Structure 1
Amino acid sequence: MKIITISREFGSGGRELAKRLSDAMGIVYYDREILTAIAQKGGFHEDYVRETLEQNYLLQYPLTIGKSFSCVQPIPQTATDLLIAQRNTLLDIARKCSSCIIVGRCADVILRDYHPLRLFVYAEEQAKLQRCLERETDPRTTEKDILRQMRRIDKARASYYRLFAETGWGQKENYDLCINTTHVSIKQIVPLLKGYLEGL
């Protein structure tokens, strides 16, 4: 088995798919654990690490493509340090684990030398909206609120991806398998995906 990286559109069920697949295959799953490790090693609060690496913070800077984090305006040193720490954490995981699942973090690009199996999970907007509504706990949240959040987060993911890759986030050429969850439940996909992966 290989390292499996899972990139996903917000609301597509990619995180749920990764966790269920991890349980089904009995292999380690990394997601927010990466942020925890970065925070502990760097002495940062985990919320700060998450907000810097996952939210719109980096969108303030007009980035150019390149592996050295070059940009028109320099990214603040702390943010650069966190990007480097995340890269090093992913590389450390790859060195220690011959089989694992990693969600997001541009792991498919950062770990290219380890030849991971790269998955991309996506869905039609209405299906993503419905999935988000089903798990929403705040009754004041509207469909418009969720749609804005979906678009904002996916925009941030695409921008973040450009820090590491010369191709666009979500382009099918970047992945070994693209999974559309629009008309199927995650529970239905997992056994099929498990069989496919075990047959490689």
Structure 2
Amino acid sequence: MKQNLVITIGRQFGSGGREVGKRLAELFGIDYFDKELINEAAKESGLSPEFFEKADEKAPRSLRNFFTVVWTPFGSSFGSDGSLNNETIFKYQSDVIINITNTKPCVIVGRCADYILRNCPSCVSVFIHAPLKNRIDRIISRSGEDMTPEEAAELAEKKNKMRQNYYNFFTDKEWGAAASYDLSIDSSILGCEGTALFVKDFIEKKFNGKI
């Protein structure tokens, strides 16, 4: 079963979801993908990673006028105004996610991976959240610059709104709703390490110790 295991991580900004995902990859001895998916999608499409970076976890409404290109060899992939069709970007990234999970076990953070892999029986979807106070503290501690709690809260709200719009646009589920995932957990209760261990135990029990 381990050779087919895929763990998808949805997360609130500042909840430590990325850290939990990385730790899970270490605990299971499998690959970890987050921003790496952007480069893989760019290679697959032949486009610059910049296209995917600007589109990363943003719903089409947020992308208006972001992309301007001169050469348009992809036909319907581009709109009449020369803008890159966001559904095309999503498809490239979806194809990369499917291709990766067909060849190796891994942890994938964000990018609607749980929905893209909804028919994969060995996929476990997890959502990491935390109270605003904890998220503010984490955002400030990792910012590397002076940031007020108000600025951190504003940033968290902005990022989460973008992720929510992106997820809700491309899936038939609701971002952050417990019913959308196999497991939803508050990382502030056990901390990132304890949360990763808890999720590992959950996954092993889900598959009856066959991981």
User: TM-score, normalized by length of structure 1?
Assistant: 0.84
Unaligned runs of 5+ in 2: 65-80
1:11 — aligned with what?
14
1:169 corresponds to which of 159, 165, 175: 175
User: In structure 1, what is the equivalent of residue 36 of structure 2?
Assistant: 33
- Asked if structure 1 preserves the Cα contact closer than 8 Å seen for 2:59 and 2:166, the reply is no
Q: In the alignment, which residue of structure 2 is the partner of 1:49? A: 52
1:130 counterpart (137, 142, 150):
137
Q: Secondary structure at the match of 2:185?
A: strand
Q: C-alpha displacement at 1:146, in angstroms?
A: 1.5
1:81 to 73, 83, 88: 88
**Structure-2 change in CA distance of 1:75 and 1:148 (3 Å):** farther
Structure whose CA Rg is larger: 2
For the pair 1:24 / 2:30, whether they are aligned, the reply is: no
How far residue 197 of structure 1 moved from its aligned partner, in angstroms, is 1.9
* Aligned twin of 1:65: none
Match of residue 108 from structure 1: 114
> In the TM superposition, what whole-angstrom CA distance separates every residue of 1:30-85 from its partner, at most 9, and x where no partner exists?
11110011122333332431121235764367xxxxxxxxxxxx994343321110
TM (norm. structure 2) is 0.80
Give the letter aligned to residue 59 of structure 1.
S
Contact 1:52 1:58 in 2 (8 A): no
The Cα RMSD (Å) is 2.2
Gaps of 5+ in 1: 62-73
The aligned counterpart of 2:166 is 160
Displacement of 1:191 = 2.5
Q: 1:184 aligns with which of 170, 175, 190?
A: 190
Alpha-carbon displacement from aligned partner over 1:102-126 (angstroms, at most 9, x marks no partner) = 1101011111111321100001101
